[in-house]
Chain A
Amino acid sequence: MNKNRVSQLPFHLMLLPGVALVLVFSYGPMFGIIMSFQQYVPAKGFTGSEWIGLDNFRYVLDMPDTFTVLWNTMFIAMMKIAAGLVFPILIALLLNEVRKNAVKRTIQTLIYLPHFLSWIILGGILIDVLSPSSGIVNHFLGLFGMKPIFFLGSNHWFPFTIVISDLWKEFGFATIVYLAALTSINPVLYEAAIVDGANRWRQTLHVTLPGMAPIIILLLTLSLGNVLNAGFDQIFNLYSPQVYVSGDIIDTMVYRLGLVDAQFGPAAAVGLFKSVVSFVFISVSYVLAYRFANYRIF
């Protein structure tokens, strides 16, 4: 490499198509954010539309639903983050205790599967399974003399249905990383613990958990970036007007404001708010992850 300087041209050429596409479809929309400060009229475009300062933001703040939506978003997202962190760790620990490899592999194959199905497919399944009149779940509850529960239509049940069904889809897949962390713990540590008279429970407490700690901290930190992501794909496919009070989130609100009601300015303003807050959270979580877990993306 030191004989003569490597030509930089091929590198630039290789990057060119990607740079161009990202410029148009990722940076282009960032430029489009200016419509959140305009009374945007598509026919007039960015240059012709009237500038109205922060009026779109004020308009959104004055809407009666805004704080409900913000609350719903954070409530659902936080519950998902907590459940999605604790449950997979638990399952990874339990799975680690299974000594028969065939059993272990079968369990893994089954619990990973829902992750790969879309929320359309899973939404369709859930709507059928949870239906108050014909769903199998309510059939089953009926056997115990319980009244049918309208899981997707009641404001009391909706957020929990969302969190639990999300857990059902993703917990298996989330265990992969923890299982990988478990296999990388040095077996010598276990042998030493056994010599010291530690039983399985003590081994878990003093060897396994400390061994997993860096990964747990890393994933906890990185999950910080998701406080405003309650899961558009899932909620959009499962909600209906009757559960807006408990299930409407920022992303679904932007969709309705912008693409259904054609209120481009206010919708873009809400989108900008979410992007900025998310940007701050993601940046902070990346910095923390770098500090405490020495994690870098590349």
Chain B
Amino acid sequence: MNLSMTTGQKTFNVFNQIFLIALSVLCVLPLIHVLAISLSDKTAAAAGDVVLWPVHFTWQSYTYVLSKPEFMRAFWITIERVALGLLINMFLTILLAYPLSKEVRVFKYRTVYAWYFVLTILFSGGLIPTYMIVNQTHLLDTIWALIIPGAVPVFNVILLLNFFRGLPRELEEAAFVDGAKQWTVLWRLFVPLSMPALATIALFTIVGHWNAWFDGLIYMNKLEHYPLQSYLHTVIIKTDLAMQSARDLDSLSQVSERTSKAAQIFMGALPILIIYPFLQRFFVKGIVLGSVKE
């Protein structure tokens, strides 16, 4: 096909590639800039000398952040949250997707249940009533406030039930002929066969729990109960905006904190950056599977 490439097409291709590469570099450049700041000397960072490469390389800001008990405590709360949340979310997703993937002639009330869950996507009580419920169920200031209210991920259930439907019917029927029960078919047949879909959902769940911050902010009254991202909200976002609006933009305290803030930002992103390569292999398929169903 390249035989008939005109000069016009060739120039287009060159410019197209340059443009796209520039655009994609632009997506990660700010992250690299912040990484460079975090690894730089305080004074160099404050003077604005750091661009994409650390100036006077030092681990200082990282040793400082890692020795901060509040940071480490928040970090562990998030790890606990991810572990518990993943377990519960996945268990419920599997358990719900199976009956809902059946046809009405197999499971009579399927449609009723399906609407029961879908309605929660369409309509919600809003922030204040939800907060009240979490308060009334005595979940405030416990880790369960971060896990239980979002324990039923309806979108993931829909994704998985669509995947279940694509599995060959014959396998299932053969299992029933051999005397298997629904429970056995689900865990011994459907789950092992759905590993690609389950992996996609699991990775999105991990990212979701890792990145969640708002629930921590409102459901936890004490700073020592905050998960990492909520903690970062208080130390990075809130203080900085307050500082900037206070007009003393070059206040000394802000300057000396710049490298440690950068280090905390980077630490907060690190687990995502680590799992991202694994995530990437799965999610393209998963997204297409879930969102474009024709």
Q: List the interface of chain A (C-beta within 8 A of B).
A: 1, 6-8, 10-12, 14-15, 17-19, 21-22, 24-33, 35, 42, 91, 94-95, 97-100, 103, 106-107, 109-114, 116-121, 123-129, 131-134, 136, 139, 150, 152-153, 168, 172-173, 176-177, 180-181, 194, 199-200, 214-215, 218, 232-233, 236-242, 251, 254-255, 258-259, 264, 267-268, 271-272, 274-275, 278-279, 282-283, 286, 293-298
9 A-B contacts (beta carbon < 8 Å)? A14-B99, A15-B96, A19-B113, A111-B24, A123-B237, A127-B241, A136-B33, A152-B241, A271-B127
Given that A25-B133, A125-B265, A128-B262 are contacting pairs, would A275 and B116 also be in contact in the complex, using a CB cutoff of 8 Å?
A: no
Q: Which residues of A contact B30 (CB under 8 A)?
A: 125-126, 129
A120→B113 contact, CB < 8 A: no
Q: List B residues at the A interface (Cβ < 8 Å).
A: 1-2, 6, 9, 12-13, 16-17, 19-21, 23-28, 30-31, 33-34, 37, 46, 48, 51, 92, 95-96, 98-100, 102, 106-110, 113-114, 116-118, 120-134, 137, 148-152, 157-158, 161-162, 173, 176, 181-183, 186, 207, 210-214, 218, 229, 232-233, 236-237, 240-242, 244-245, 249-250, 255, 258, 261-262, 264-265, 268-269, 272, 276, 279-280, 283-284, 287-288, 291-294
Contact indicator A177/B292 (Cβ below 8 Å)? yes
Interface of B is mostly: helix
Once bound together, how far apart are the Cα atoms of A239 and B233, in whole Å? 13
Query: Given B108, B127, B236, B241, which contacts A255 in the complex, CB threshold below 8 Å?
Result: B127
Closest to A123 in B: B237
Complex-state Cα separation, A6 to B122, whole angstroms: 32
Main SS of the interface on chain A?
Answer: helix
Q: Which of A7, A21, A168 is within 8 Å of B92, CB to CB?
A: A21
Known: A25-B130, A215-B292, A271-B128. A128 touches B242 (CB 8 A): no
Residue of chain B at shortest CB distance from A105:
B280
- Residues on the B chain within 8 Å of A172, using CB: 24, 27
With beta carbons under 8 angstroms apart, the residue of A22, A32, A103, A296 that contacts B129 is A32
In the complex with contacts A120-B236, A180-B292, A21-B131 CB distance below 8 A: no
Q: Once bound together, how far apart are the Cα atoms of A21 and B242, in whole Å?
A: 39
A240 near B242 (CB under 8 angstroms)? Answer: yes
Least Cβ–Cβ distance between A240 and chain B, in angstroms = 4
Interface centre among A6, A32, A116, A168 (most CB of B within 10 A): A116
Question: Do B148 and A21 have beta carbons less than 8 Å apart?
Answer: yes
- Quick check: A200 and B9 within 8 Å, CB to CB? yes
Taking A32-B125, A111-B27 as contacts, is the C-beta distance between A177 and B288 under 8 angstroms? yes
Task: Kindly state the separation between the CA atoms of A241 and B246 in the bound complex, as whole angstroms.
Answer: 11
Contact of B151 among A21, A121, A233, A282 (CB under 8 A): A21
What residue of chain A has the Cβ atom nearest to residue B8's Cβ?
A199
Residues in chain B near residue A267, CB distance under 8 A: 127-128
Contacts A98-B20, A240-B241 given: A18-B249 contact, CB under 8 Å?
no
- Please name 9 further chain A to chain B contacts, defined as beta carbons within 8 Å, in addition to the given A7-B182, A240-B242, sorted by A numbering: A29-B125, A32-B130, A120-B211, A125-B265, A126-B30, A129-B30, A177-B287, A275-B123, A297-B121
CA A116 – CA B203 in complex, angstroms?
11
- Residues in B whose Cβ lies below 8 Å from that of A134: 46, 48, 249-250, 255, 258
Q: A116-B279, A118-B211, A134-B48 are in contact. Are A10 and B27 (CB under 8 A)?
A: no
**Residue from B122, B134, B186, B250 with most neighbouring chain A CB atoms (10 Å):** B122
B125 → A minimal CB distance (Å): 3
In the complex, A233→B127 CA distance in Å? 13
**CA distance in complex: A240, B244 (Å):** 9
Chain B residues with CB under 8 A of A297:
118, 121, 158
* Chain A contacts for B249, CB-based, 8 A: 131-134
- With A29-B125, A35-B128 known as contacts, the answer to whether A94 contacts B152 (CB < 8 A) is no
Cβ of A233 and Cβ of B126 under 8 Å apart? no
- CB distance A29 to B129 under 8 Å? yes
Chain B residue contacts of A14, Cβ below 8 A:
95-96, 98-99, 182, 186
Among A6, A124, A254, the residue within 8 A (CB) of B232 is A124
Q: Are B132 and A19 in contact (CB under 8 A)?
A: no
Contacting pair A120 B237 (CB below 8 A): yes
A35's partner among B27, B132, B210, B280 (CB-CB below 8 A) is B132
Q: Is the CB of A29 within 8 A of B21?
A: no
Q: Do A272 and B279 touch across chains, with their CB atoms under 8 A apart? A: no
- Residues on B with C-beta less than 8 A from A109 are 280
Q: Is the CB of A103 within 8 A of B21?
A: yes
In the complex, how many angstroms separate the beta carbon of A38 from the nearest chain B beta carbon?
Answer: 12
Q: Is the CB of A176 within 8 A of B284?
A: yes
Q: Tell me the complex Cα distance, A277–B96, Å.
A: 29
Top 3 nearest A-B pairs (CB, nearest first) are: A29-B125, A271-B126, A32-B129
Cβ A117 vs Cβ B211 within 8 A: yes
- Chain B residues in 8 Å Cβ range of A26: 120, 124-125, 152
Contact A118 B213 (CB under 8 A): yes
User: A31 contacts B20, CB within 8 Å?
Assistant: no
Choose from B118, B152, B183, B292 the contact partner of A181 (Cβ within 8 Å).
B292
